[in-house]
Amino acid sequence: MKKTHIILLVLIAGAITVLISYTGNLTTYETVISAKQKPGKFVKLVAKLDKNSLIYDAVKDPNYLTFTAVDTLGNTVKVVYHNTKPTDMEKSERIVLGGKMQGDHFECRDILLKCPSKYKDNPNALKQDI
């Protein structure tokens, strides 16, 4: 075999290895029921925050936040987050929670807020700003 053929085969093998390693990191959005069926596995939940259930005391324990999340199907789950509360969490339309189911609660590792659009109420606001 020529050197170019060997180098080409090594590059193809490397490309296949990289593609396979990236497919392991792909996660899909889950519902509360499907997340409960995968205990201990990292999943992402798209949910709404139940604002009445938010418990956070920055003085007593600034790295403990708990609340109830409601998914798009109306199922609820208790969420425990061991970090500071994200700013304006109560104003967000939806939240994306990354974490694992641990028994009866969702152990959250990261929270992504989906903030409301500033043009939601007035679709002509964009034209007024220009």
Residue 109 lies in domain: 29-114
List the CATH number of the domain containing 63.
2.40.50.140
Q: Please answer whether residues 32 and 45 qualify as being in contact, where contact means their C-beta atoms are separated by less than 8 angstroms.
A: yes
Q: Report the number of distinct structural domains present in the chain.
A: 1
Residue 10 located in a structural domain: no
Q: Is residue 44 part of a domain?
A: yes
Residue 56 maps to a domain: yes
Domain assignment of residue 15, yes or no:
no
Could you read off the pLDDT of 102-129 as tens digits, one per residue? Answer: 988 999 999 998 876 655 555 554 455 4
26 vs 62, residue with greater confidence: 62
Q: Over the chain, what is the mean pLDDT? A: 84
Whether 90 maps to a domain, the answer reads yes
Give the pLDDT of residue 24.
Answer: 64
Residue 125 lies in a domain: no
Contact (CB, 8 A) for 100 and 42: yes
Mean pLDDT of the region 10-27: 82
Q: Is residue 81 part of a domain?
A: yes
In a domain, 16, yes or no: no
